[in-house]
């Protein structure tokens, strides 16, 4: 690696692409509240919750080839853990939530009591989905269940989970779900300053997840995951255990979904089975499909785009939106299977056409003034996510 | 009073419904590897055919018979269109068909809502099928008996087509070794289209039959699709025998578990049984032995 | 087994970036606002807690905005579209007669998409972004429960048109549908009067059937009746063979049905196909209205009973006008039903409150609510200012060949709403349980 001082701006941008991207993302996140209303910030926070799920799907499906139609299960587990904690801290010790009182229950059930402790709750939102995914993964991947079989099983599980939630309405709130929360770890949810903080948490969590996936992709583990996706048997012959590699990626994706679900609760103020059923779970894939399943930022960008479009279009044209959703899956998967990521190859071509490449090359020989101009476009390639995040 | 006998009948009846819903899926998934998420919507198309026929034709019995034929053709053609327009170009990536067909199912549902409205409709059934039949002093639904018989007839017919006709031989040859079939002079492209037409057409028949028990609305198919998938997975790919056994076992299990517990526990139990079962038989009940490792 | 040679390298990078993330979070850590404890202290300090949220309603122009939130898509769209239609009809009528306090009403319609979370989001949009004076809509209890905190936090008004399970009285919601004592209790009184003793309960698995059946069980225990079976099915479930088997073998002489939507179709088809008959084992339904009858197929439900507070066949003058106008506006084949009538009435009740208060201000409207009356299609209704429900007449009806429901029994005049069933001795067991209820459950101001 060259010394910093001898690097051209273009080289600098290329070498420290991720760092530059991160710094810009952090700045944009910090700036967002000053340019957006509290209402829009709330919507953006909600989109980010789905984006977290999408980052995980990108890892499990795009990298690992595990098409999971059941992320709603993990999203729901994280959300319900968080909701249970928030409900308990609202009502205080010795009381039961109002819906339980309606059913005549006088004592809070045991699995609720577990999450009264805030530390356990915070760990639980990632650990519970992660552990369940690991168990499930060990069971099915160990036995060589994959591809369509895995997809169908994951779908069946999320269906079973939502039936169970509805069936056990005395302890889960049933179709109503859990709602009417007052505080988030003691902070008043109606206060704008707190809403802003919750946005920061969502945004930085998303950023952290993107960075984690970035490391994995660059690391040897990333190669293993892709290896298992493309040539599972060859990996086996090389002495690796494909099941444990898959379990690793799948559990991580489940944790991301759980954390996304957990943040969904303070942001939206409700979690119910209708947020996590079969169809919502597949729709969590929509953004990944659009953005490009194998790209790093695609899932996030795609999810923010599609959720933003949903808010905008579904109000004005409710039935048209369903067609659009359907067409997203049909047209993109059939004709542009890598989504927006497919157009990535066009970038150098565009750069050449509009002369930016020349500017960057010239920058190598030129002084500091041109360095800024050269770094500009290069940095942009790394952080369309955050730019869109703020615009949304 | 003894509930055992009526519960066994209920279980068999549930099994026949599952079988009818899963039969077409089993064919397309098994022979072609396509996971058709729009299968439920093809059933919906069949159900709406039954509704349209019942409004057009005065005699309800004739209407039902015509609907069974027209439903088969309508859903079959929808399937053929889907296969020609989209799925054909995706033979090399079967997993992606799952998502494409999900998109198709969203579009078809919305289309049904725009054409027939959001309000559920119902197809008037022949009087004889809405009344009970009495066997050994127990009353049973004649409509369910009809569905049971129909499911057996469909399985038998499909079996006959696959085993006894030249077309069936070509379908089996294509699914067992596509390249060898191709060099033997079989147009695998045509065979695929015909297979998909057949599988989708059976969904249409299922839709017509199940409209006897339900109202018909745009989400008609979603009720059955997840369980139908489970039957296919548990039964083993590409084997009619597996699908038949799996349907009836799951139907009986559900009735047995539901009796002392509740309907929701019954449903959850069926899901869990399949997951646990796959622990022991990851390739399903009736697995094709193969040396193919990939 | 698996080798993870990668971990060492990752760890260094992970540590570095975790530090960055931690630092970012730490710098932002001072941005938190007030805590729940501070908010409660604040509210305890000022007598009128509601003043914390400022309203952005614009009353200066010649028109005033009101909001509707109904599911126009998703599984509930079928039902909720009808409510949206009758709400629009009420507004058009009021505007044609000069509006409210001389201002024309301007409707902002939102789609709740059959999802509670969306209802909450849209309610927020209506109140905070559209600045409407009042919101009308909601159908499922889930949607109401999801919207309730939004209306209480912003001190806004919701008019909820459905009959529901009771045990609630938010100061920010007016409930124009029946409380349990205006629907479930009269239904049971009717069964008792007719000599039915053994009840079988069947319902969809959600809060209304569960709570309604608690009331039924308490009533049965206190009135010499017996509950011989209680079954719930997941929403949208269409397999009723086992449940109907259980029903046949239970020895029940009447069925109390709280299933909703599509499940009714499968249930009644199975009921009929198994040889049960309305004459011997009648089903009394809490959620089947006129528009559901044609979807279920009148052949399957002829002669069965329903409990509501309104039928299209009611003979009074207001109802004849209401039915005529509705059919003129939306088509001759469209039936009118209880939820539609209740929604229609709720707009007029709000108008009455505003005119009595001479203001659109939420607190003034609430203060003026008590005793506001309206000659509704269901008969005369009156607002109870204490629990925000309304006095309603109860009707038991029988489903006829004409796909309409005909009254077979009615209560002696409007019944006072009693959402917590405090006035019934047999319901004492229900009271003690709900004493632990926190937050919004308490009565209005």
| Number of CB atoms found within 10 A of residue A140's CB | 24
Q: How far is CA C2 from CA A56, A61, A239, A240, in A?
A: 22, 21, 8, 5
Which of B118, B221, B222 best probes binding to C when mutated, by most C CB atoms within 10 angstroms?
A: B118
Q: State how far residue B93 is from chain A, nearest Cα, in angstroms.
A: 10
Residue B281 confidence (pLDDT) = 78
Selecting from C77, C236, C272 the residue whose C-beta is nearest the C-beta of B223 gives: C236
DSSP state of C392: B
Q: State how far residue A321 is from chain B, nearest Cα, in angstroms.
A: 10
Q: How far is CA C217 from CA B41, C153, C247, in A?
A: 41, 35, 17
Residue range A347-362: mean pLDDT, rounded: 59
Of chain A, the percentage scoring pLDDT greater than 70 comes to 87
pLDDT higher than 90, residue B94: no
Nearest to C181 by CA among C411, C442, C436: C411
Nearest to C252 by CA among C273, C227, C272: C227
Residue range A164-188: mean pLDDT, rounded: 86
pLDDT higher than 50, residue A342: yes
Residue B238 confidence (pLDDT) = 65
Helix (H, G, I), strand (E, B) or coil at C399: strand
| CATH code, domain with A229 | 1.10.3470
Beta carbons of C2 and A241 less than 8 Å apart = yes
Beta carbons of C245 and B3 less than 8 Å apart = yes
Which chain C residue is nearest to residue A319, measuring alpha carbons?
Answer: C73
pLDDT level of residue A368 (50, 70, 90 thresholds): very low
Residue A358 confidence (pLDDT) = 46
Q: Which residues contact B284 (CB under 8 A, 6 or more apart)?
A: B233, B234, B235, B236, B237, B239, B242, B246, B278
Beta carbons of A269 and C150 less than 8 Å apart = yes
**Which of A280-289, B115-124, B173-182, C35-44 reaches the highest mean pLDDT?**
A280-289
Q: Number of residue pairs across B and C with CB atoms under 8 Å? A: 105
pLDDT level of residue A360 (50, 70, 90 thresholds): very low
Chain A partners within 8 Å of C20 (Cβ): 22
Selecting from B98, B114, B222 the residue whose C-beta is nearest the C-beta of A151 gives: B98
Q: State how far residue C152 is from chain A, nearest Cα, in angstroms.
A: 10
Q: State how far residue B108 is from chain A, nearest Cα, in angstroms.
A: 9
Report which of residues A13 and B29 the model is more confident about. Answer: B29
Beta carbons of B143 and C205 less than 8 Å apart = no
Selecting from B7, B122, B219 the residue whose C-beta is nearest the C-beta of C242 gives: B7
Please compute, for residue B152, the number of CA atoms within 13 A of its CA located in the half-sphere on the CB side: 7
Q: Kindly state the greatest CA–CA separation across chain C.
A: 84
pLDDT higher than 90, residue A21: no
pLDDT digit string, tens, across residues A274-291? 899 899 999 999 999 999
Residue range C242-250: mean pLDDT, rounded: 90
Percent helix / strand / coil, chain A, rounded to 5: 80, 0, 20
Q: Which residues contact C294 (CB under 8 A, 6 or more apart)?
A: C335, C403
Residue A370 burial (C-beta neighbours within 10 Å; 0-12, 13-18, 19+): middle
Quick check: C381 and C374 in contact, CB under 8 A?
Answer: yes
Helix (H, G, I), strand (E, B) or coil at C294: helix
Residue A11 confidence (pLDDT) = 79
| Number of CB atoms found within 10 A of residue B269's CB | 18
**Which of A186-200, B160-174, C337-351 reaches the highest mean pLDDT?**
C337-351
| Number of CB atoms found within 10 A of residue C218's CB | 19
Selecting from C75, C234, C265 the residue whose C-beta is nearest the C-beta of B214 gives: C265
Nearest to A250 by CA among A7, A104, A64: A64
Residue C347, both tokens: 């707009």
Q: Number of residue pairs across A and C with CB atoms under 8 Å? A: 204
Nearest to C308 by CA among C141, C190, C145: C190
Selecting from C13, C72, C116 the residue whose C-beta is nearest the C-beta of A177 gives: C116
Domain span at A267: 8-391
Q: How far is CA B95 from CA B36, B174, C158, in A?
A: 10, 19, 47
Helix (H, G, I), strand (E, B) or coil at C135: strand
Beta carbons of B109 and A140 less than 8 Å apart = no
Nearest to B192 by CA among B41, B49, B33: B33
Interface predicted TM-score (ipTM) of this complex, two decimals: 0.87
Q: Which residues contact A338 (CB under 8 A, 6 or more apart)?
A: A292, A293, A294, A295
Residue C54 confidence (pLDDT) = 64
Q: Interior CA angle at B285 toward B282 and B289, to 5°?
A: 75
Beta carbons of C34 and A191 less than 8 Å apart = yes
pLDDT digit string, tens, across residues B29-64? 888 888 899 999 999 999 999 999 999 998 989 999
Residue A122, both tokens: 């915070």
pTM of the complete model: 0.82
Residue A293, both tokens: 């399943």
Residue A180 confidence (pLDDT) = 82
Kindly list the partner chains of chain A, i.e. chains with 3 or more CB atom pairs below 8 Å.
B, C
Nearest to C296 by CA among C399, C227, C392: C399
Q: How far is CA A368 from CA A137, A365, A384, B224, in A?
A: 53, 10, 25, 66
CATH match for C63-178+315-392 among 3.30.1370.110, 3.40.50.2300, 1.20.1250.20, 3.30.1330.60: 3.40.50.2300
Q: State how far residue A79 is from chain B, nearest Cα, in angstroms.
A: 21
Report which of residues B54 and A370 the model is more confident about. Answer: B54
Question: CB-based contact (8 Å) between A163 and chain B?
Answer: yes
Residue C29 confidence (pLDDT) = 56
pLDDT higher than 50, residue B291: no
Residue range C4-19: mean pLDDT, rounded: 52
Report which of residues C7 and C175 the model is more confident about. Answer: C175
Question: CB-based contact (8 Å) between A232 and chain B?
Answer: yes
Selecting from B90, B102, B114 the residue whose C-beta is nearest the C-beta of A334 gives: B90
Chain B partners within 8 Å of A143 (Cβ): 278-279, 282
Residue A3 confidence (pLDDT) = 64
Dihedral, CA atoms, A331, A333, A336, A340, nearest 10 degrees? Answer: 100
pLDDT level of residue C189 (50, 70, 90 thresholds): very high
Q: State how far residue A354 is from chain C, nearest Cα, in angstroms.
A: 35
Which chain B residue is nearest to residue A232, measuring alpha carbons?
Answer: B294
- Is A1 domain-assigned? no
Rounded to whole angstroms, how far apart are CA atoms B209 and B144?
A: 9
pLDDT level of residue C5 (50, 70, 90 thresholds): very low
pLDDT level of residue A375 (50, 70, 90 thresholds): very low
Question: How would you classify the pairing of strands C373-376 and A187-188?
Answer: unpaired
Selecting from C81, C238, C243 the residue whose C-beta is nearest the C-beta of B118 gives: C81
pLDDT digit string, tens, across residues C89-106? 999 999 999 999 999 999
Report which of residues A348 and A126 the model is more confident about. Answer: A126
Which chain C residue is nearest to residue B135, measuring alpha carbons?
Answer: C274
Quick check: C253 and C229 in contact, CB under 8 A?
Answer: no
pLDDT digit string, tens, across residues B63-76? 999 999 999 999 99
pLDDT level of residue C7 (50, 70, 90 thresholds): very low
Question: CB-based contact (8 Å) between C149 and chain A?
Answer: yes
pLDDT level of residue B219 (50, 70, 90 thresholds): confident
Domains C63-178+315-392 and C181-308 share a fold: yes
Selecting from C140, C141, C441 the residue whose C-beta is nearest the C-beta of A98 gives: C441
Residue B218 confidence (pLDDT) = 87
Rounded to whole angstroms, how far apart are CA atoms A356 and B250?
A: 63
Quick check: C237 and B263 in contact, CB under 8 A?
Answer: yes
Report which of residues C22 and B202 the model is more confident about. Answer: B202
Beta carbons of A326 and B222 less than 8 Å apart = no
Superfamily of segment(s) C181-308: Response regulator (3.40.50.2300)
Rounded to whole angstroms, how far apart are CA atoms B98 and B101?
A: 5
Selecting from C75, C233, C249 the residue whose C-beta is nearest the C-beta of B1 gives: C249
pLDDT digit string, tens, across residues B77-88? 999 999 999 998
Our count of domains for chain A comes to: 1
Beta carbons of B213 and C238 less than 8 Å apart = yes
Q: Interior CA angle at A348 toward A344 and A350, to 5°?
A: 90
Nearest to A374 by CA among A387, A354, A357: A357
Helix (H, G, I), strand (E, B) or coil at C394: coil
pLDDT level of residue A386 (50, 70, 90 thresholds): very low
Residue A174 confidence (pLDDT) = 82
Question: Which residues of B, range 131-150, sit inside 8 Å of A by Cβ?
Answer: none
Selecting from C245, C269, C296 the residue whose C-beta is nearest the C-beta of B6 gives: C245
Beta carbons of C233 and B263 less than 8 Å apart = yes
pLDDT higher than 60, residue C347: yes
Quick check: C399 and C297 in contact, CB under 8 A?
Answer: no
| DSSP notation for C337-356 | -HHHHHHHHHHHHHHHHHHH
Quick check: C252 and C229 in contact, CB under 8 A?
Answer: yes
Q: Which residues contact C160 (CB under 8 A, 6 or more apart)?
A: C137, C138, C144, C173, C174, C175, C176, C177, C346
Q: Average per-residue pLDDT in chain A? A: 84
Question: How would you classify the pairing of strands C395-399 and C379-383?
Answer: unpaired
Question: CB-based contact (8 Å) between C277 and chain B?
Answer: no
Report which of residues C160 and C209 the model is more confident about. Answer: C160
pLDDT digit string, tens, across residues A102-152? 777 888 888 999 999 999 999 999 999 999 999 999 988 887 787 888 998
The residues spanned by each domain of chain C are 63-178+315-392, 181-308
Chain A partners within 8 Å of B98 (Cβ): 67, 69, 148, 151
Question: CB-based contact (8 Å) between C94 and chain B?
Answer: no
Chain C partners within 8 Å of A22 (Cβ): 17, 20
pLDDT higher than 70, residue C187: yes
Q: State how far residue A236 is from chain C, nearest Cα, in angstroms.
A: 10
> Roughly how many angstroms between the first and final C-alpha of chain A, as a whole number?
38
Helix (H, G, I), strand (E, B) or coil at A340: helix
Of chain A, the percentage scoring pLDDT greater than 90 comes to 46
């Amino acid at each position: 690696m060259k010394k910093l001082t001898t690097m051209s701006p273009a080289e600098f941008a290329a070498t420290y692409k991720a760092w530059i991207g991160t710094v810009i993302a952090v700045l944009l996140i910090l700036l967002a509240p000053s340019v957006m209303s509290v209402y829009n910030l709330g919507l953006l926070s909600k989109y980010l919750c789905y984006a977290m799920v999408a980052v995980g799907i990108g890892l499990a499906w795009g990298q690992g080839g595990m098409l999971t139609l059941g992320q709603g299960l993990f999203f729901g587990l994280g959300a319900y853990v968080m909701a249970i904690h928030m409900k308990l801290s609202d009502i205080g010790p010795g009381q039961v939530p109002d819906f339980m009182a309606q059913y005549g229950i006088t004592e809070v059930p045991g699995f609720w009591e577990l999450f009264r402790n805030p530390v356990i709750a915070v760990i639980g939102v990632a650990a519970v989905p992660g552990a369940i995914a690991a168990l499930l993964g060990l069971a099915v991947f160990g036995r060589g269940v994959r591809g369509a079989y895995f997809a169908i099983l994951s779908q069946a599980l999320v269906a079973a989970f939502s039936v169970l939630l509805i069936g056990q309405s005395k302890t889960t709130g049933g179709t109503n779900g859990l709602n009417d929360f007052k505080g988030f770890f003691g902070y008043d949810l109606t206060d704008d300053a707190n809403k802003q903080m919750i946005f920061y948490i969502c945004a930085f969590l998303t950023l952290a997840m993107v960075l984690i996936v970035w490391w994995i992709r660059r690391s040897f583990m990333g190669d293993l995951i892709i290896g298992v996706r493309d040539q599972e048997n060859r990996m086996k012959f090389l002495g690796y255990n494909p099941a444990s590699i898959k379990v690793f990626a799948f559990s991580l994706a489940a944790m991301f979904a759980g954390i996304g679900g957990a943040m969904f609760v303070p942001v939206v103020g409700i979690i119910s089975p209708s947020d996590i059923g079969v169809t919502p779970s597949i729709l969590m894939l929509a953004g990944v499909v659009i953005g490009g399943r194998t790209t790093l930022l695609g899932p996030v960008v795609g999810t923010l785009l599609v959720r933003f479009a949903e808010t905008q279009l579904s109000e004005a044209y409710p039935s048209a939106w369903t067609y659009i959703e359907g067409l997203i899956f049909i047209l993109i998967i059939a004709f542009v299977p890598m989504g927006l990521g497919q157009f990535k190859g066009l970038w150098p071509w565009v750069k050449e056409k509009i002369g930016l490449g020349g500017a960057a090359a010239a920058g190598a020989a030129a002084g500091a003034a041109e360095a800024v101009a050269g770094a500009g476009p290069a940095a942009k390639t790394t952080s369309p996510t955050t730019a869109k995040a703020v615009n949304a | 009073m003894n509930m055992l006998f009526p519960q066994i009948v209920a279980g068999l009846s549930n099994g026949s419904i599952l079988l009818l819903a899963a039969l077409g899926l089993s064919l397309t998934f098994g022979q072609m590897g396509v996971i058709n998420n729009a299968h439920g919507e093809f059933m919906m198309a069949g159900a709406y055919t039954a509704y349209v026929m019942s409004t057009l034709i005065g005699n309800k019995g004739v209407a039902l018979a015509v609907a069974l034929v027209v439903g088969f053709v309508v859903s079959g053609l929808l399937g053929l269109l889907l296969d020609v327009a989209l799925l054909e170009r995706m033979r090399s990536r079967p997993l992606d068909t799952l998502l494409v067909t999900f998109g198709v199912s969203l579009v078809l549902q919305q289309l049904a809502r725009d054409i027939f409205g959001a309000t559920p409709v119902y197809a008037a059934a022949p009087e004889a099928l809405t009344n009970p039949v009495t066997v050994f002093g127990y009353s049973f639904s004649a409509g369910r008996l009809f569905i049971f018989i129909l499911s057996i007839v469909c399985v038998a017919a499909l079996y006959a087509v696959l085993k006894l006709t030249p077309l069936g031989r070509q379908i089996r040859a294509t699914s067992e070794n596509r390249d060898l079939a191709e060099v033997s002079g079989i147009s695998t492209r045509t065979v695929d289209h015909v297979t998909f037409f057949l599988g989708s057409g059976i969904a249409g028949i299922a839709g017509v039959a199940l409209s006897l028990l339900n109202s018909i609305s745009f989400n008609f198919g979603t009720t059955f699709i997840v369980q139908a998938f489970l039957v296919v997975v548990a039964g083993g790919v590409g084997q009619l025998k597996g699908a038949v056994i799996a349907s009836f076992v799951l139907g009986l299990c559900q009735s047995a578990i539901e009796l002392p517990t509740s309907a929701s526990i019954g449903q959850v139990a069926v899901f869990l049984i399949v997951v646990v079962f796959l622990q022991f038989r990851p390739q399903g009940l009736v697995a094709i032995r193969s040396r193919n490792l990939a | 087994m698996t080798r993870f040679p990668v971990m060492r390298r990752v760890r260094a990078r992970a540590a570095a970036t975790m530090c960055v993330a931690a630092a970012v979070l730490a710098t932002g850590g001072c941005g938190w606002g007030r805590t729940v404890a501070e908010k409660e202290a604040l509210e305890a300090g000022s007598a009128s807690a509601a003043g914390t949220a400022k309203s952005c309603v614009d009353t200066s122009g010649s028109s005033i905005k009101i909001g509707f939130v109904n599911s126009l898509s998703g599984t509930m769209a079928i039902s909720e579209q009808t409510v949206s239609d009758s709400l629009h009809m009420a507004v058009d009528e009021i505007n044609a007669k000069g509006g409210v306090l001389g201002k024309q009403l301007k409707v902002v319609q939102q789609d709740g998409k059959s999802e509670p979370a969306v209802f909450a989001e849209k309610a927020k949009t209506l109140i905070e972004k559209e600045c409407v004076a009042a919101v009308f809509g909601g159908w499922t209890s889930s949607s109401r429960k999801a919207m309730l905190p939004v209306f209480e936090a912003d001190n806004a008004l919701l008019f909820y048109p459905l009959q529901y399970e009771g045990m609630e009285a938010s100061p920010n919601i007016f409930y124009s549908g029946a409380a349990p004592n205006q629907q479930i209790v009269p239904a049971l009184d009717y069964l008792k009067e007719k000599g039915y003793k053994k009840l079988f309960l069947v319902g969809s698995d959600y809060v209304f059937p569960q709570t309604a059946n608690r009331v039924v069980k308490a009533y049965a225990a206190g009135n010499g009746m017996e509950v011989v079976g209680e079954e719930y099915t997941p929403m949208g479930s269409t397999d009723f063979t086992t449940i109907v088997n259980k029903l046949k073998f239970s020895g029940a002489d009447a069925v109390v049905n709280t299933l909703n939507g599509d499940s009714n179709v499968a249930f009644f088809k199975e009921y009929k196909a198994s040889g049960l008959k309305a004459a011997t084992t009648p089903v009394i339904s809490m959620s089947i209205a006129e528009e559901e009858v044609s979807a279920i197929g009148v052949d399957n439900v002829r002669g069965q009973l329903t409990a509501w507070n309104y039928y299209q066949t009611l003979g009074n003058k207001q109802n004849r006008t209401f039915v005529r106008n509705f059919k003129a506006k939306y088509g001759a084949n469209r039936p009118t039903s209880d939820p539609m009538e209740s929604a229609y009435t709720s707009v007029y009740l709000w108008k009455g409150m505003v005119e009595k208060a001479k203001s659109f201000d939420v607190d003034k409207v609430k203060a003026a609510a008590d005793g506001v009356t309206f000659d509704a299609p269901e008969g005369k209704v009156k607002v109870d200012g204490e629990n925000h429900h309304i006095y309603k007449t109860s009707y038991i009806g029988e489903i006829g060949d004409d796909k309409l429901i005909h009254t077979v029994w009615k209560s002696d005049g409007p019944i006072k709403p009693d959402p917590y069933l405090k006035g019934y001795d047999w319901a004492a067991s229900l009271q003690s349980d709900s004493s632990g209820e926190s937050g919004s459950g308490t009565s209005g101001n």
